[in-house]
Structure 1
Amino acid sequence: MSGKITYCGHEFREFVPQKTCAYISQHDLHFGEMTVRETLDFSGRCLGVGTRYQLLTELSRREREAGIKPDPEIDAFMKSIAISGQETSLVTDYVLKILGLDICADILVGDVMRRGVSGGQKKRLTTGEMLVGPATALFMDEISTGLDSSTTFQICKFMRQLVHISDVTMIISLLQPAPETFELFDDIILLSEGHIVYQGPRENVLEFFEYMGFQCPERKGVADFLQEVTSKKDQEQYWNRRDQPYSYVSVDDFSSGFKSFHTGQELASEIRTPYDKSKTHPAALVTQKYGISNWELFKACLDREWLLMKRNSFVYVFKTVQITIMSLITMTVYLRTEMHVGTVQDGQKFYGALFFSLINVMFNGMAELAFTVMRLPVFYKQRDFLFYPPWAFALPAWLLKIPLSLIESGIWIVLTYYTVGFAPAASRFFRQLLAYFCVNQMALSLFRFLGAVGRTEVVSNSVGTFTLLIVFTLGGFIIAKDDIPPWMTWAYYISPMMYGQTAIVMNEFLDERWGAPNTDTRIDAKTVGEVLLKSRGFFTEPYWFWICIVALLGFSLLFNLFYIIALMYLNPLGDSKATVVEEGKDKQKRNSRGTEDSLVELSNRSSNGPKRGMVLPFQPLSLAFQSVNYYVDMPAEMKAQGIEGDRLQLLRDVGGAFRPGILTALVGVSGAGKTTLMDVLAGRKTGGYVEGSISISGYTKNQSTFARVSGYCEQNDIHSPHVTVYESLIYSAWLRLSADIDTKTREMFVEEVMELVELKPLRNSIVGLPGVDGLSTEQRKRLTIAVELVANPSIIFMDEPTSGLDARAAAIVMRTVRNTVDTGRTVVCTIHQPSIDIFESFDELLLMKRGGQVIYAGSLGHHSQKLVEYFEAVEGVPKIKDGYNPATWMLDVTTPSMESQLSLDFAQLFANSSLYRLNLSLTFPVSP
């Protein structure tokens, strides 16, 4: 990296940039076991209050000098947000309200294995996690992914107010911003191929491109135009100098042109003038690495670790039950039997029993490896943002497991010690307990360290299993010390298992009941117990027991130290860049007409157009549903807030019909129930309570058969990373197509699907890992669609197929979706913040409001005319402005605040409308 970066004239070495500014990642990394409020509280607690206390002190001084008496409520708020180290803060409530997260504040965040908040709410939580801190420079990376256009607009509007009122510096990167959202920004930075094409006031950006010979057409979002005008594939359609022949204007040409443009000249002049450091307020740049003291950081991490342990209590209870069951099984082996003692042959049986016990205690700590790997992504994010030092994360994980080690070791000893018939003296019993406790602590520490080194589940499990093999082999039981080659003796002494094995066998065989005289002259030992120990190379001096205990505790300390070092210096595996896959010349020729043309083609296709034939036939099916309600058990967190009732209703009397050859958009604000409705219709809800009727072409839906005729494209593109595109599809086809389809037909069908979704140029490309290598985001999305299509479904559900994509990539995916519809299939898509072109490429719309109620279901019409006419007919609803995105407008005019202002319920209004009755007439023919 080269160049120079300064903040207020100061270089990075003069302050702590991670605390001065905040980076909001596009990746939503949170602990799924914590609620939204708990996540924000922890973030605010660790980040501290920054300069708020100093500013409050200065404000109070000036108020006293001016004789001003502050408003009591404002004064109380200012003082509360200036106190650091608090477990909860008013800032959290403030951010929850601003980001619209107050409705889910006490709901678990959730993850891939735990139900939680919606994807849009999780994205807002990622933003709020940094907003609760004191940073005055904010860098936000694709914060709108997964959010509806109305919510994105409201958040950006708040950000604009924050910038102007609090004098905050803020940079936001957005994908497919709606025109009204784009209008909120003061300055625009347009990047292409690593070059700055434009940087300056938003008002001058179109002037610059007109200066370069390009013009943005009507009903085209400026942001979409800016993304496409620098692309070789899409540029020509915007050429405005009709008197001159078009020639491609490269990014370098744009960059050079900007330098000669008046905005570029003003920027260059500003950069040449050094910033006067004396104008910088002393509190503007943070020089302390962490926001609160080390003790407060430790307490915050300790409280969170205890909370996570309580939320994962099932795992710890299961581990305890597991070792209890193993103890009981071990008891039954020795029940009503007597283990004879006194001879060498008897001692061999005790050796086996002791080794078996040691293995169980050791293996019971292996769950710590999975826990560590699972928590690392969140740790890496918070470590890099200087939430806390690595030791503050590691120590609570160690200290809070000590009681669990004692409990698990105690259960094993209590249930098996006297049943097996070990040395009966009480001192021997407690020594054995101490030894097993130390072994368990050592195992937990070892697995934590291996998890931090491996960093992924596959690598960590491989390394962990290999390590167990080594320490068991060199523990002194499987291979005696005297049988180990001399050049490997050092490995014997550094094996933690050797010290655990030595401690427990010495505790047993140095008991007086093994004190019979030795009759074997080949071994220099006085008693049978010493013979048993020396025969396998163990020590016989009693003090070695305590040396082994100290060694085990030392290993625990050492592994925890290594764990902290690994957390401190190791980063996530893999590069932070994706490999761009070249799609070939044929694909370039196919796309040369431009994204605009392809979208116009999409919007102009009628549902009655020609259908594409394929080698495998399918039966077009309609899906009708009436009075669908969905409930879940009331979360305990919401009950604790005083909310009554045993069930929480997520869908309310939802009805509609999806038909073959019709592309339907399922739209609503984040948390409206779009994905929930799709999950219910697709039969993917494994919990909760579903009411209502769902029919397929007039027949009552049967889930076992419906699963064979439907496909579901999830929002997350999950694929095997080490196979090619073709291998992914052929594998899915082998598993999901009927067994009576021959191999040749199956392969022909896969080829047709690849052609349909435009993946043929990528057939031999490795899928790879997201954000690391392999396919791009847009290519992964098309692969997700293809994996479902090779099952030859009649009905396909797609959850946010364009989220996380820019305008060009979204257009390519939507072309794939339209190709799928043109085969005669029934396709339903949930969609967030679509551009005007993408929104109007849909045939019909099902619009939902928060609370799971339908407020519009019907055709969009040309240029969304029917949708606009319906809502503009409602008295009091503001008319849509010229150039305004209909998708954003309809969400803006149907908000709860608008309902309150107009004193109406849009759901009730729709239920009483002629459009609703028309929908019923469409639904009944396909219902029983």
Structure 2
Amino acid sequence: MDPAGEIQKVASMRRGDSGSMWRRGDDVFSRSSREEDDEEALRWAALERLPTHDRVRRAIVPLGLGGDEAAAAAAKGVVDVDVLSLGPRERRALLERLVRVADEDNERFLLKLKERVDRVGIDMPTIEVRFQNLDAEAEVRVGSSGLPTVINSIVNTLEVTQSASSPVYSARRRFCLRNIEKSRLILIGARLIVLVQEAANALHILPSSKRTMPVLHDVSGIIKPCRMTLLLGPPGSGKTTLLLALAGRLDKDLKVKGKVTYNGHEMTEFVPERTAAYISQHDLHIGEMTVRETLAFSARCQGVGSRFDMLTELSRREKAANIKPDADIDAFMKASIYASAMGGQEANVVTDYILKILGLEICADTMVGDEMLRGISGGQRKRVTTGKTGSHFQRNKVLIKELSQPAPGSSDLHFPSKYSQSSFTQCMACLWKQNLSYWRNPPYNTVRFFFTTIIALLLGTIFWDLGGKVKTSQDLFNAMGSMYSAVLFIGVMNCTSVQPVVAVERTVFYRERAAGMYSAFPYAFGQVVIELPYALVQAILYGVIVYSMIGFEWTAAKFFWYLFFGYFTLLYFTFYGMMAVGLTPNYHIASIVSSAFYAIWNLFSGFIIPRPKVPIWWRWYCYICPVAWTLYGLVVSQFGDNATPMDDGTLVMHFVEDYFDFKHSWLGWVAAIVVAFGVLFASLFGFAIMKFNFQKR
């Protein structure tokens, strides 16, 4: 055979070998792909055999989910996992598979979610809002009477007093009336002044300072479901008032006429806060929390609503119809709904999803910040506000469904609460938020501990070793002076330092309560409970330093009583500062009111003048002065059982009882009274938070 033929033969043989090699390779890849498909099918079959409750908590995800790219590429096959066990890296990897680029992939992802729900015939509820002949009027002061001058403030206060004395008023004003009845002379004088002013206005001798201003006039319209409606208008035209009216959040002082209905149901038939969310133009957040934590807290308060029931029904219908869902979509829905409903964890895949679509991933772990704390930018803060409230509508779709399709002959809708979560869940969420806020607030806690240490060292050096040397009455007065100084210095410091912190927290609380995230009690609970460990550290820090330097008697009982009274004294001073903020519009007024009581408590504490020496007509106040009971407990616990004779032969315990009227047998009652003051101030703080709202807009 010629060389050309040999070459052609060899080439033909090589092509044959090469073709067979590629066919073997295709067979290998095909066999590998079939094995992977078979493995996935077996896992889905095993998942379908589980009970519904177990099936909705397990998902099929790729091997190596959450690892680096090399590990993910090398890993083949799928694995059955519990959605509660997905960590942050796995959640982000799952979200990356679904929405890699938010602007491009989010719509496709949402369409997949809708397609899955539509395939099994689950109808998502919709709602239509109608408003007819809506009017809103407000009584406002015009001219110079609206300026914040001293005279105008007095006149306005007197007018409020007059209105509070009328027979039919709101609960808040009836509460004011019960307090005012204690001072009938002031009430009568106020009524006379206001009556004279009203008579002068009626006779046109003096012009009236109030005018009725229309905010909305005969406004009607419809907001269709599944549409975005744009509301336009010049400043002051009533856009915000209209939105507040539609969300059921209008101020009680406005006179409102007309009708607003949700699917034909008026506002009185349901709780609008659980259906509509009003996103304020003011960005109010806790500056010490990160963006991720802020959104996670909002998710914990709002819950999942009826989405868990929807997921369960979806799983049942897919099993009955033998429909295999998309694995990534299934994992996302289970991780977002079941994990949120069962775990109450700090963050979940929904939080990561909101961060991604709002472009907040870059600052997810950055503190939000405020006027005094550097944080995220203004635009990012605005998006955080949207993210906190934007998922509000999802939390009670059962309500929307009931409004859409009421059963024939059904009674009026009834909801035990306007909040999605139970009181316990709200309390735990608020406590978690307060813990983060306090832990990241060094200007408050670190400075407080620092000055406590400085004051302890200062008092310890001034009253060095005076606690165990009680030879004369002056020695006893010196030891009591150390107790008195500590109570006033550190107590007042706690009271004044907590007020601006609570004032900021209260402003955020007003907005979040209006959004239906949590009620007043969980907020007050978190604010009160979070102070307990910090006050304990402060009391131990001060007590150990001062007790050893002053040289009080080293017995376990006496040292315990010293720490006990120090701890609960710091608590009731702190709670008193919180109560003052709760009862006043801002912490500036609260500090002024508190300062007046500091002086009164100082005067009636029993140190400047002992209780038996106080005139009988003022002695009653000694029994309601908390500082007096603290000094009572400190003195009687250290010296009330001291049988050491002084230079004049009088026993220390007898001098304490005769001069101060402090009895050692009352030690238990005194301790209970000091604790009661803390409970009283904390309760009044909670009551003020529930009943008063000083937010203007």
Q: State if a TM-score over 0.5 links the two structures.
A: yes
Cα contact 1:52–1:81 (8 A) shared by 2: no
CA distance in 1, matches of 2:534, 2:299: 30
CA distance in 1, matches of 2:430, 2:537: 23
Q: Residue type matched to 1:539 in 2? A: F
Return the offset for 1:454. 2.2
CA distance in 2, matches of 1:294, 1:375: 19
1:356 maps to 2:497: no
Counterpart in the other structure of 1:491: 621
Counterpart in the other structure of 2:568: 438
1:17 maps to 2:147: no
1:567 maps to 2:694: no
1:535 maps to 2:662: no
Cα contact 1:445–1:559 (8 A) shared by 2: yes
1:64 maps to 2:338: no
CA distance in 1, matches of 2:409, 2:311: 18
Cα contact 2:466–2:475 (8 A) shared by 1: no
Counterpart in the other structure of 2:637: 507
Counterpart in the other structure of 1:625: none
| Of 79, 93, 113, the match for 2:372 | 113
| Of 346, 368, 381, the match for 1:87 | 346
CA RMSD of aligned residues (A): 3.2
Cα contact 1:339–1:346 (8 A) shared by 2: no
Counterpart in the other structure of 1:787: none
Return the offset for 1:518. 6.8
Per the alignment, do residues 24 and 281 of structure 1 end up closer, same or farther by CA in structure 2, a change over 3 Å counting?
farther
Counterpart in the other structure of 2:434: 305
CA distance in 1, matches of 2:536, 2:457: 18
Return the offset for 1:455. 3.9
- Which deviations, in whole Å up to 9, do the C-alpha atoms of 1:80-138 show, x marking residues without a partner? 23232332122222222222222222211111011111111111111111123344899
SS of 2:258's equivalent in the other structure is coil
Cα contact 2:298–2:517 (8 A) shared by 1: yes
Cα contact 2:467–2:552 (8 A) shared by 1: no
Counterpart in the other structure of 2:446: 317
CA distance in 2, matches of 1:408, 1:277: 58
Per the alignment, do residues 355 and 338 of structure 1 end up closer, same or farther by CA in structure 2, a change over 3 Å counting?
closer
Within-5 A mapping of 1:711-726: none
Q: Residue type matched to 1:527 in 2? A: L
Counterpart in the other structure of 2:502: 372
Task: Count the aligned residue pairs.
Answer: 436
- Which deviations, in whole Å up to 9, do the C-alpha atoms of 1:743-800 show, x marking residues without a partner? xxxxxxxxxxxxxxxxxxxxxxxxxxxxxxxxxxxxxxxxxxxxxxxxxxxxxxxxxx
Q: Residue type matched to 1:529 in 2? A: M
SS of 2:478's equivalent in the other structure is helix
Per the alignment, do residues 285 and 68 of structure 1 end up closer, same or farther by CA in structure 2, a change over 3 Å counting?
farther
Counterpart in the other structure of 1:50: 305
Within-5 A mapping of 1:897-908: none
| Of 527, 545, 554, the match for 2:676 | 554
Cα contact 1:50–1:134 (8 A) shared by 2: no
Per the alignment, do residues 439 and 88 of structure 1 end up closer, same or farther by CA in structure 2, a change over 3 Å counting?
same
Q: Residue type matched to 2:618 in 1? A: M
SS of 1:132's equivalent in the other structure is helix
Unaligned segments of structure 1, at least 5 residues: 139-165, 170-273, 520-525, 577-928
CA distance in 2, matches of 1:59, 1:339: 76
CA distance in 2, matches of 1:393, 1:461: 22
Per the alignment, do residues 413 and 453 of structure 1 end up closer, same or farther by CA in structure 2, a change over 3 Å counting?
same
1:122 maps to 2:348: no
Cα contact 2:286–2:368 (8 A) shared by 1: yes
SS of 1:512's equivalent in the other structure is coil
Cα contact 1:9–1:276 (8 A) shared by 2: no
SS of 1:109's equivalent in the other structure is coil
1:27 maps to 2:282: yes
SS of 1:116's equivalent in the other structure is coil
Counterpart in the other structure of 1:292: 421
CA distance in 1, matches of 2:410, 2:368: 38
Q: Which has the higher helix share?
A: 2
- Which deviations, in whole Å up to 9, do the C-alpha atoms of 1:887-919 show, x marking residues without a partner? xxxxxxxxxxxxxxxxxxxxxxxxxxxxxxxxx
- Which deviations, in whole Å up to 9, do the C-alpha atoms of 1:643-675 show, x marking residues without a partner? xxxxxxxxxxxxxxxxxxxxxxxxxxxxxxxxx
Unaligned segments of structure 2, at least 5 residues: 1-255
CA distance in 1, matches of 2:598, 2:400: 53
CA distance in 2, matches of 1:107, 1:443: 34
Return the offset for 1:168. 9.8
Return the offset for 1:325. 1.5
CA distance in 1, matches of 2:387, 2:453: 44
Is 67-76 or 397-406 further displaced after alignment?
Answer: 397-406
1:459 maps to 2:582: no
CA distance in 2, matches of 1:18, 1:371: 28
Per the alignment, do residues 357 and 561 of structure 1 end up closer, same or farther by CA in structure 2, a change over 3 Å counting?
same
TM-score (norm 2): 0.58
Per the alignment, do residues 287 and 355 of structure 1 end up closer, same or farther by CA in structure 2, a change over 3 Å counting?
closer
Q: Residue type matched to 1:42 in 2? A: F
Return the offset for 1:427. 2.5
SS of 2:277's equivalent in the other structure is strand
Return the offset for 1:533. 4.0
* Bigger-Rg structure (1/2): 2
Cα contact 2:642–2:652 (8 A) shared by 1: no
Within-5 A mapping of 1:76-475: 76-83=331-338, 84=341, 85-135=344-394, 277-278=406-407, 288-335=417-464, 340-366=469-495, 367-475=497-605
1:7 maps to 2:130: no
Cα contact 1:101–1:121 (8 A) shared by 2: yes
Q: Residue type matched to 1:110 in 2? A: G
CA distance in 2, matches of 1:379, 1:68: 46
Return the offset for 1:339. 6.9
Return the offset for 1:35. 1.2
CA distance in 2, matches of 1:435, 1:460: 25
Per the alignment, do residues 137 and 354 of structure 1 end up closer, same or farther by CA in structure 2, a change over 3 Å counting?
closer
SS of 2:278's equivalent in the other structure is strand
CA distance in 2, matches of 1:295, 1:101: 30
Return the offset for 1:44. 0.9
Return the offset for 1:301. 1.6
Return the offset for 1:316. 1.4
Per the alignment, do residues 96 and 48 of structure 1 end up closer, same or farther by CA in structure 2, a change over 3 Å counting?
same
SS of 1:24's equivalent in the other structure is coil
